[in-house]
Structure 1
Amino acid sequence: MIQIFCDFDGTITKSDNIIAIMKQFGPPETNVIKDQVLAQEISIREGVSRMFALLPSSLKEDIVNFVKETGIIRPGFPEFVQFTKEQCLDFYVISGGMDFFVHPMLDGLVERDHVYCNATDFSGTHIHVDWIHPCDGHCGNACGLCKPSLIRKLGKPGAMKILIGDSITDLQAAKLADKVFARDFLITKCEELGIPYTPFETFADVQQELAKLLEVAR
């Protein structure tokens, strides 16, 4: 059995929506916070909470429209999802992104109960992130949405676990995976830590490699 755990921002989408939102709507302080997260000086949970807390809730409609207009699905993704269904592979999206843009972009592609992301609250003066998938007792990294915890929760005994990702938010999950498909910053971290990985640019690349794995398994 193969289980696939896939990141959203910068992986399913061609660019990171949170970074794009902060560039478009955030004050200069968001750049400092982003750099601190990438350098692992502060946790992902703290960094993302602080960045969204700088954005007024009144911007909700503008932000949603911005993501709809600028968010682009990486080539080959719809075909890849169909491939996983045909091959009876468990496919989950585990995203550090926010519900207000993750779910609309994946509607019609991935069943909602297979999509895990953060919740957002716009009831106050500024945007508040609800971390509804926190770290379990085996993780103390304050991940925010904790990908390794979700892999432990959703993983089935004996299954081959595959991680597809691109960023620092995928690093801890990559350490648990049997196979890693990586791009961008995740490649840098995998090379630093000696984590084996397969690079990819489109989901056609991933599908091709998975097809080879399935042939070997047979």
Structure 2
Amino acid sequence: MPQPIASFSSNRPIAIFSDFDGTIFLQDTGHILFDHHGCGPERRAFLDESISTGENTFRKASLELWQSLRVPLDTAFATLKEHLVVDPGFHDFLNNFAFDRRIPFVVISAGLRPLLRRVLDESVGKAKSRSIGIVSNDGVISADGANWTPVWLHDTELTHDKARSIREYRVRHAKANPLIVFIGDGVSDLAGASQADVLFARRGLKLEQYCIKNGIPYTPYDSFTDIQRELEILVVSNRFHSAAQTPAEAAADGPVKAML
């Protein structure tokens, strides 16, 4: 079901929440590491399927997957650097839209923060990476890589309840009443998508299939270029993010400052 983006209020500050694996990057960081340095692709595929069929919980399967790794962090990152491909429109979206229009951009993920931050540091540079928020699970990794211990953000079967994280963000910024944009691709994004005002689902993947099946309004995308084109409609006359703002007007935007 298409969502009428033009109908959303232009008088609310915007905040963007984006999944990481399969969204910003076209591959899954965990899958790459499990296949090369952990349980291997066959066991990983079996555990993924067991989650889909309900035979296993996401938390239990994820714990086995992360604990199967036997690789130092530097080597793990080198493997990711070799195999990860960034969405072709992401850098332009981040630099010439989100940063340029002073729109908070937050990575929301069930992955591990040390990996996510390091990949972002490499992809966009450390200075710009610091301007990207990360809400995710964490991890304790021994120096020799023999022990990977995930630290779940929430004590739930989801390990990170993305819906809860977005609700908490709304509460913290209730006075600003932000318009929440959510960008995702898969099953792990369903909870976060439920809290979005504006939802983008990668075309042909499970999040889009779920939206179609359940009549949930969304906009399909093939790359961040598509998302940027759609969101430009929201910021044309938005007093918080309009390119027509004077420096003084931009400096006076307290709600956006508080959200950054």
TM-score of the pair, normalised by structure 1: 0.86
1:9 to 21, 32, 52: 21
Q: Per-residue deviation at 1:24?
A: 2.4
More deviation in 114-123 or 170-179?
114-123
How far apart, CA to CA, are the structure 2 residues paired with 1:70 and 1:186?
Answer: 24
CA RMSD across the alignment: 2.2
Partner of 1:143: 158
Deviation at 1:101, TM superposition (A): 2.1
CA contact (8 A) 1:182 1:197 kept: yes
Other structure's SS at 1:63 match: helix
Identity fraction in percent = 29
Residue type of the alignment partner of 1:86: D
**Structure 1 residues 145-154 or 3-12, which shifts more?**
145-154
Of the structure 1 ranges 43-52 and 63-72, higher mean CA displacement relative to structure 2 is found in 43-52
Take 1:216 and 1:47, find their aligned partners in 2: how far apart are those partners? 46
2:59 corresponds to 1:45: yes
In structure 2, stretches of 5+ residues that fail to align are: 1-12, 240-260
Rounded to whole Å, the distance in 2 between the matches of 1:191 and 1:94 is 23
Q: Which residue of 2 aligns with 1:24?
A: 36
| Paired residue type of 1:127 | W
Distance, in Å, in 2 between the alignment partners of 1:84 and 1:98 is 24
- SS in structure 1 at match of 2:24: coil
Report the counterpart of residue 195 of structure 1 in structure 2. 216
Q: List per-residue Cα deviations over 1:154-182 (Å, max 9, x = no partner).
A: 22332211110011111011111111101
Alpha-carbon distance change, 39 to 84 in structure 1, aligned in 2, over 3 angstroms: farther
The letter for the 1-side match of 2:94 is: V
2:256 counterpart residue number: none
CA–CA distance in structure 2, aligned partners of residues 169 and 150 of structure 1: 14
Q: Residue in 2 aligned with 1:181?
A: 200
CA apart distance, 1:77: 1.1
Partner SS for 2:166? helix
- What 5-or-longer segments of structure 1 have no aligned partner? 136-140
Query: 2:212 is aligned with what amino acid?
Result: E
**Is residue 171 of structure 1 aligned with residue 190 of structure 2?**
yes
Distance (whole Å) between structure 1 residues aligned to residue 83 and residue 29 of structure 2: 9
Following superposition, the deviation at residue 207 of structure 1 comes to 0.4
1:108-152 deviation per Cα after TM superposition (whole angstroms, max 9, x unaligned) = 243266112222222384321111x216xxxxx621122111101
How do 1:1-218 residues align onto structure 2 when only pairs under 5 Å count?
1-25=13-37, 26-27=39-40, 28-56=42-70, 58=71, 60-82=73-95, 83-107=97-121, 108=125, 109-111=128-130, 114-123=133-142, 125-131=146-152, 133-134=153-154, 142-155=157-170, 156-157=173-174, 158-183=177-202, 184-215=205-236
What is aligned with 1:138? Answer: none
SS in 2 for 1:176: coil
- Give the letter for the 1:161 counterpart: I
* Cα 1:113–1:211 shift into 2, 3 Å: closer
4+ residue stretches of structure 1 with deviation over 6 A? none
Whether contact under 8 Å (1:9, 1:16) holds in the other structure is yes
Tell which structure's C-alpha radius of gyration is larger.
2
Q: 1:15-57: CA deviations, max 9, x gaps?
A: 112122222232332221111224454333222112112223x
Structure-1 separation of matches of 2:103 and 2:141: 36
Alpha carbons 1:151, 1:173 under 8 Å: kept: yes
